[in-house]
């Protein structure tokens, strides 16, 4: 008997761990897509190109920034996030287990195709927050598919953390949270920047990494290591060798920007001790020209204060001319890779301010600074704030908001369930007092853990409970936490 009990406990623990692991993975995947929707759209666009899908003849553009991909990205984020929340709280167990298994079967098929034929750089499962190799992605999905299949078979043993009556609140709050996060990140900029071009980034370190040089000296048979900038105790120490150690690895691959003459102005922008405004324009099909007046105001401000301003774009000369005609742009154009521009600013067009190799600020096309911000005092304030920006702090605040909502829902549900349970006990005592102790069974003490059985109870005209006989598969088999 003890062995059987321990075995059952081990199986229950394994199922619970798998349930919560799947919930965490789906939640994180949906959250990342909602926090950086345009980044996900770029990855979807890569899939569409690889599969040769073209709905342009039907007037449905499938490019990043289009309304079609906007809707698809938000729907994917919502579906993944809700599945994760359902797994985590044990809600809608049959629906969650079936849909979660089908979803993982589809994604495993897609990652197998990617692994075999390498049609896209990465699968985009977690956006730019966590980039995995094709082999790592396939292995991850195989494990998740196995866990999802196990939970599908054993779905009756999934742990429920929330009563059915209050599931609607958890669903609606999660739905609104992801929808608000997606809309904000689309209209402005991602609330959490997962790229290597986040505000406050030192482009020199991001491109080349940071190294520390150690010098080995000897004196009287004793060897000591002195780091770069550390002074020797005296001049009698003899130099032996030097070693370089990578302290911070490079995390962006490219900042190459060439002007019309073919000169690389990317390095000049990084080394420039003055301020530089950089407009990013990956392509003009979905570019919003409504911010052109504000961009022209920024150009006038830059000229008045001796600052440089460039428009880095991946379009050809004809496209540059079209943009100039549409917007009246007076700033010079330069050429950069489309993927680099898409990563720099999640907007089309976008605007970046760089000073002494550091990214001071970034704006989307809905938030281009106006005249009130275009002052030297405003620029210097942005520079001070950029040094205090922490992506980890933003990530903590955004996730803490949802965790707080979820904990409130669970706590309120437990309080409600406890209060309902004790009310049943009191009514059961009244029933016993009224009918005496000779009765074989009290209706109120049938199944105190089943929500459906308690919901079938009503009070008679005398105020006594009357049980309706309702039985469901979920009631008898679900585990309530």
pLDDT: is 117 or 374 the higher one? 117
**For the residues 134-159, what does the mean pLDDT come to?**
93
What was the pLDDT predicted at 442?
59
Long-range contacts (CB closer than 8 Å, 24 or more residues apart) made by 323-330:
323/281, 323/284, 323/287, 323/289, 326/289, 326/292, 327/289, 327/292, 327/295, 327/296, 328/292, 328/296, 329/292, 329/295, 329/296, 329/299, 330/296, 330/299
Q: What local confidence, expressed as pLDDT, does residue 211 receive?
A: 85
Residue 166: pLDDT over 90: no
Q: Which of 71-80, 339-348, 386-395, 440-449 has the lowest mean pLDDT?
A: 440-449
Which residues, other chains included, contact 369 with Cβ-Cβ below 8 Å and sequence gap of 6+?
A: 294, 298, 351, 363, 378
Q: What is the pLDDT of residues 191-205, one digit of tens each?
A: 888 888 988 889 999
Residues above pLDDT 70, as percent of the chain: 87
What are the structure tokens assigned to 432, written together? 């016993």
Taking a C-beta distance cutoff of 8 angstroms, is the pair 112, 123 a contact? no
Q: Is 224 helix (H, G, I), strand (E, B) or coil?
A: strand
Locate 376 and state its tokens.
């030297």
pLDDT of residue 51: 87
Q: Looking at 31-40, 56-65, 187-196, which range is the least confident one? A: 56-65
The pLDDT value given to residue 448: 42
Cα–Cα distance, 171 to 81 (Å, whole number): 10
Indicate the pLDDT class of residue 53, thresholds 50, 70 and 90: confident
Q: E strands within 345-470?
A: 350-355, 358-363, 458-459, 465-466
What is the model's pLDDT at position 447? 46
Q: What was the pLDDT predicted at 210? A: 85
d(CA 299, CA 387): 25
- pLDDT at position 391 is 61
Q: What is the pTM of this model?
A: 0.80
The pLDDT tens digits of the residues spanning 283-312 come to 888 888 889 999 999 999 999 888 999 999
C-alpha pair distances (Å), 172 with each of 82, 83, 161, 166: 10, 13, 17, 10
> HSE on the CB side for 102, CA within 13 Å?
8
* Banded model confidence at residue 457, pLDDT cuts 50, 70, 90: very low
């Amino acid at each position: 008997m003890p062995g059987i009990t321990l075995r059952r406990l081990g199986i229950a623990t394994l199922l619970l761990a798998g349930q919560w692991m799947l919930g965490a993975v789906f939640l994180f995947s949906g959250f990342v897509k909602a926090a950086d929707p345009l980044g996900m759209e770029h990855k979807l666009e890569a899939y569409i190109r690889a599969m040769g899908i073209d709905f342009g003849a039907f007037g449905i553009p499938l490019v990043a920034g289009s309304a079609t991909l906007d809707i698809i990205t938000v729907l994917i984020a919502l579906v993944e996030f809700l599945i994760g929340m359902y797994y985590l709280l044990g809600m809608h167990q049959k629906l969650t287990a079936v849909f979660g298994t089908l979803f993982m079967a589809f994604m495993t098929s897609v990652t197998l195709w990617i692994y075999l034929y390498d049609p896209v750089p990465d699968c985009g499962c977690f956006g730019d927050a966590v980039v995995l190799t094709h082999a790592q992605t396939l292995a991850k999905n195989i494990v998740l598919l196995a866990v999802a299949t196990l939970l599908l078979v054993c779905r009756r043993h999934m742990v429920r953390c929330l009563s059915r009556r209050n599931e609607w609140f958890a669903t609606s709050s999660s739905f609104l949270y992801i929808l608000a996060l997606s809309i904000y990140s689309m209209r402005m900029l991602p609330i959490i920047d997962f790229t290597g071009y986040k505000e406050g980034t030192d482009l020199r370190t991001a491109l080349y990494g940071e190294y520390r040089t150690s010098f080995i000296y000897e004196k009287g048979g004793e060897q000591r290591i002195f780091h770069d900038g550390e002074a020797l105790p005296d001049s009698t120490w003899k130099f032996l060798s030097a070693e370089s150690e990578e302290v911070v690895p490079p995390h962006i691959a490219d900042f190459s920007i060439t002007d019309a003459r073919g000169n690389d102005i990317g390095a000049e922008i990084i080394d420039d001790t003055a301020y530089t405004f950089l407009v990013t324009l990956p392509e003009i099909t979905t570019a919003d020209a409504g911010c052109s007046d504000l961009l022209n105001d920024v150009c006038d401000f830059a000229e008045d204060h001796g600052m440089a301003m460039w428009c880095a774009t991946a379009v050809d000369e004809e496209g540059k001319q079209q943009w100039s005609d549409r917007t009246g742009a007076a700033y010079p154009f330069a050429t950069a890779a489309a993927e680099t521009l898409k990563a720099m600013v999640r907007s089309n067009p976008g605007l970046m301010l760089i000073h002494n190799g550091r990214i001071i600020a970034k704006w989307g096309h809905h938030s281009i600074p106006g005249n009130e911000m275009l002052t030297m005092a405003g620029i210097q304030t942005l520079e001070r704030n950029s040094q205090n920006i922490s992506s980890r702090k933003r990530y903590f605040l955004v996730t803490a908001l949802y965790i707080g909502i979820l904990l409130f829902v669970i706590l309120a549900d437990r309080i409600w369930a406890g209060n309902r349970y004790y009310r049943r006990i009191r009514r059961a005592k009244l029933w016993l007092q009224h009918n005496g102790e000779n009765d074989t069974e009290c209706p109120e003490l049938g199944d105190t853990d089943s929500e459906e059985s308690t919901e079938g109870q009503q009070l008679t005209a005398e105020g006594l409970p009357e049980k309706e006989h309702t039985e469901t598969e979920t009631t008898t088999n679900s585990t309530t936490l």
